[in-house]
Chains A and B, each alone.
With several copies, the nearest count.
Chain A
Amino acid sequence: MKPSTWIYYLREAWQGVRSGGLLSLASALAIVVSLAALAVVMILAVNLQHMTRVVENQLQMVAYLVEDFDRTWQDELMRKVKAIPHVKQATFVTREEGLQRLQDQLGSDSVLLEAAAESGNPLPDAVEVEVDDPRYMGQVAAALGTIESVEEVAYRRDIVNRLTALTDGIRNVGLALVLLLAAASLLTVANTVRLTIYARRREIAIMKLVGATNSFIRWPFLLEGFLFGLVGAGLALAIAWGGYSWLVVRVGEGLPFVPVLSPDAVLLQVAQWLLVGGVLLGVGGSVVSLRRFLRV
Chain B
Amino acid sequence: MITLIGVSKVYRPRRVALLDVNVHIGKGEFVFLTGASGAGKSTFLRLLYREQTPTSGQVIVLGQDVARIPMRKVPYLRRQIGVVFQDYKLLSDKTVWDNVAFPLLVTEHPPREIARRVPAVLEQVGLLGYEKNRAGELSGGEQQRVALARSIVLNPAILLADEPTGNLDAGTARIIADLIQDIHRRGSTVVMATHSDWIVNRLRQRVIHLRHGRIVADEYPGRYVHEA
| 9-residue interface stretch from A36-44, A211-219, A228-236 | A211-219
Are A212's CB and B110's CB within 8 A? no
| A2–B106 alpha-carbon span in the complex (Å) | 11
For the complex, what is the distance from the CA of A51 to the CA of B110, rounded to whole Å?
Answer: 61
Any B CB within 8 A of the CB of A203? yes
Q: How far is the CB of A296 from chain B (nearest CB, A)?
A: 8
Question: Bound state CA distance, A270 and B155, in angstroms?
Answer: 55
Interface stretch (choices B13-21, B31-39, B82-90): B82-90
- Is B179 in the interface zone, CB < 8 Å from A? no
Q: A207 to B108, Cβ gap below 8 A?
A: no
Cβ-defined contact, A2 with B108, below 8 A: yes
CB contact list, B8-56 vs A, under 8 A: 49, 51
B105 within 8 A of A: yes
| A8 in the interface (beta carbon within 8 A) | yes
Determine the distance from Cα of A213 to Cα of B154 in the docked complex, in whole angstroms: 16
- A19 lies within 8 A of chain B by Cβ: yes
Let me know if A208 and B75 touch, CB within 8 A.
yes
For residue A213, which residues in chain B have a CB less than 8 angstroms away from its CB? 72, 75, 106
User: What chain B residues lie within 8 Å of A216 (beta carbons)?
Assistant: 75, 106
With beta carbons under 8 angstroms apart, the residue of A5, A203, A210, A214 that contacts B150 is A210
Q: Does B107 contact A (CB under 8 A)?
A: yes
Closest to A294 in B: B71
Which residue of the partner chain A has the closest CB to B93?
A19
Task: Chain A residues near B75: list those with CB within 8 A.
Answer: 208, 211-214, 216
**0/1 string, B94-131, CB within 8 A of A gives 1:** 00000000110111101100000000000000000000
Q: Of all chain A residues, which has the CB nearest B49?
A: A209
Q: Are B110 and A214 touching (Cβ within 8 A)? A: no
Contact B106 A212 (CB under 8 A): yes
A119 at the interface (CB under 8 A from B): no
Residue A206 CB within 8 A of the other chain: yes
CB of A102 to closest CB in B, whole Å: 79
The answer for the CA separation of A295 and B70 in the assembled complex, in Å, is 12
Q: How near does chain B come to A292, taking the closest CB pair, in angstroms?
A: 14
* Interface flag for A265 (CB, 8 Å): no
B108 near A206: Cβ-Cβ < 8 Å: no
Assembled-state Cα–Cα distance A5/B101 (Å): 12
Interface residue ranges of A213-248 to B (CB < 8 Å): 213-214, 216
Query: Which of these, B49, B83, B85, B91, contacts A203 with CB under 8 Å?
Result: B91
Decide if B204 is an interface residue (CB 8 Å cutoff). Answer: no
CA distance A8 to B79 in the complex (A): 19
Do B78 and A211 touch (CB < 8 A)?
A: yes
- Rounded to whole angstroms, the CA-CA distance of A212 and B103 in the bound complex is 8
Q: In the assembled complex, how far is the CB of residue A215 from the closest CB belonging to chain B, in whole angstroms? A: 9
Of the candidates A19, A203, A210, A295, which one forms a contact with B106 in the assembled complex, judged by CB atoms under 8 Å apart? A210
Residue in B closest to A208 when the chains form the complex, CB atoms: B75
* A211 in contact with B72 (CB, 8 Å): no
Residue of B nearest to A206 (CB): B89
Contact A211 B79 (CB under 8 A): yes
Among A1, A210, A213, A214, max chain B CB count under 10 A is at A210
Task: Report chain A residues within 8 Å CB of B83.
Answer: 209-210
Q: Bound complex: CA of A295 vs CA of B51, how far in Å?
A: 10
- Across the interface, which residues of B come within 8 angstroms of A207, CB to CB? 91, 102, 106
B106 contact set on A, CB distance < 8 A: 207, 210-213, 216
Q: Which residues of A contact B51 (CB under 8 A)?
A: 209, 296
- A210→B102 contact, CB < 8 A: yes
Docked-complex contact B105 and A206, CB < 8 angstroms? no
A-chain residues with CB within 8 Å of residue B110 when the two chains form the complex? 2, 4
Proximity bits, A2-35, B CB within 8 Å = 1, else 0: 1011001000000000010000000000000000
B50 CB → nearest A CB, Å: 9
A295 to chain B, nearest CB (A): 8
Task: Give the distance in Å from the alpha carbon of A19 to the alpha carbon of B93 in the complex.
Answer: 9
Given contacts A211-B75, A295-B71, 8 further A-B contacts (CB under 8 A): A19-B93, A206-B91, A209-B51, A209-B78, A211-B103, A212-B106, A213-B72, A214-B75
Query: 8 A-B contacts, Cβ less than 8 Å apart?
Result: A4-B110, A208-B75, A210-B83, A212-B75, A212-B102, A213-B75, A214-B72, A214-B75
A residues lining the B interface (CB < 8 Å): 1-2, 4-5, 8, 19, 203, 206-214, 216, 295-296
List chain B positions with a Cβ less than 8 A from chain A: 49, 51, 71-72, 75-76, 78-79, 83, 85, 89-91, 93, 102-103, 105-108, 110-111, 150, 154
